[in-house]
Chains A and B, each alone.
Chain A
């Protein structure tokens, strides 16, 4: 083979021949296909309704930072109240709330979870009134919206049970009694936070982190503060403040032993 033969261009050479590529328009489908074929023919199974207790549990677990605010709505509705009244009372109790859920939305979520229910007689009456306003005689040419009478809501047994399990002096005491060793630290935190204007985080840390009780096992102030907040004894309002419940526990005899 001479040099000229080496550089002869082979017109039949196809660099992609070995790859066995499929010609356009035949073979594999490269367009988008719906991920679920024949989805329009699929049968959606019936939703399984969970018991109210479990639904409330899930609601609170889903918004853990707001659980006392949510449960306050149930407490407020131990007697029947209109949705507006309840929402106003919640807003007054939690004026600096940073939640994305408005009080009315919380009430709606509680109703869906089975912690609140509409007062039956009034709900029926309201529905009847609404239906009556929409059922007009053929002679009338127009119908107008007749706003429904405000419906009142009341706490259900499951809702009240949820409050009892999570809120109250008994719950705080049970938490404190789990770790009697740290009672003096809890007492100090509550006392500091009971002061006018509350207590700043760094001041609490400075006080608790150096305590000999925190050395072994090593604990920090955040641990105790978090537990007190979790049972509703402390609340953050630009500083750590003791709640009414916390003040009640502080005044009780639990720290005297």
Chain B
């Protein structure tokens, strides 16, 4: 890996980390004034190569450009409509919990929550006391990915490729086993329940980004595995030559 490539790779990791952080924040709690001000100053990419990401950013930007009056109240109301709902039938909102989408009776705090909790603990992570929801909330799962990316970035900056690959592999497994195993179902609900384009856009953006990220991780890890295979083969050849000599 050349120096220039290393710089690019670190930049990509930083971008992924920021996006995970951004998405986690939007799913976690309602938009407040500070975040709203940030959104107004943000530049939303339009040609990412993923139509869902582009559409998501376009919807969010278009909503913010049209919004007038008490925007924060409108967004807070829509947050409740989208993620909390008012019914008790299990089909009244896009519930942001993995357990709801992976348990037969759509209940919270099921096996999925226990599984992710074990993973968090294995990564020396625990939830803050201020967090009162289940640990399989999408905001926490996205934040977990953000933390893994941050650790991978630190490893890349320390030129420790093996450790970086370990974190990226961990992240790919988490994406495959958890986020991408259930989020598409929530994304379908996110097209039904919100009334503002902001949260509809968030649903599409997350769908597109997670898929993009899995593709990226697959690509990087395949390259790493190939490099490791070549290195292993070279070591074996050298050892054979030594033996022959």
Contacts and interface: CB of A to CB of B under 8 A. Distances in A.
* Chain A bound to chain B: yes
Interface of A: 31-36, 39-40, 42, 83, 102, 104-105, 107-108, 126-127, 129-131, 133-134, 136, 138, 140-148, 150-151
A235 to B, nearest CB: 26
Given A32-B107, A133-B65, A144 B70 contact: no
A126 B66 contact: yes
Contact-size category for B: 20 to 34
Report which residue of B65, B88, B105 has the largest number of chain A beta carbons within 10 angstroms of its beta carbon: B65
16 contacts: A31-B105, A34-B88, A34-B105, A39-B90, A39-B91, A83-B68, A108-B69, A108-B70, A108-B73, A108-B74, A141-B45, A141-B47, A142-B46, A143-B58, A145-B61, A145-B65
Nearest to A123: B68
B66 A127 contact: yes
Given A34-B88, A143-B61, 8 more contacts: A34-B89, A131-B62, A133-B61, A133-B62, A142-B46, A144-B41, A145-B39, A145-B64
A148 B45 contact: no
A161 B44 CA distance: 46
Contacts of B40: 145, 147
Contacts, number: 85
B89 A148 contact: no
Contact of B70 (A105, A126, A143, A147): A105
B107 A142 contact: no
A102 B65 contact: no
B34 interface: no
A130 B74 CA distance: 18
B62 A130 contact: yes
A119 B109 CA distance: 49
Contact of B43 (A40, A130, A133, A142): A142
Interface string B65-80: 1111110011000000
Interface of B: 39-47, 57-58, 61-62, 64-70, 73-74, 87-91, 105-107
B89 A144 contact: no
Given A147-B65, A148-B66, A151-B68, A136 B73 contact: no
A91 to B, nearest CB: 14
A42 B91 CA distance: 10
B91 A40 contact: yes
A151 B65 CA distance: 12
A117 B206 CA distance: 35
Contacts of A148: 65-68
A142 B45 contact: yes
B108 to A, nearest CB: 11
Contact of A143 (B44, B69, B89): B44
A227 B42 CA distance: 54
A138 B163 CA distance: 39
A105 B40 CA distance: 22
Contacts of A104: 69-70, 73
Contacts of A146: 65
A144 B106 contact: no
Contact of A144 (B43, B74, B107): B43
A249 B73 CA distance: 39
Contacts of A134: 58, 61-62, 65
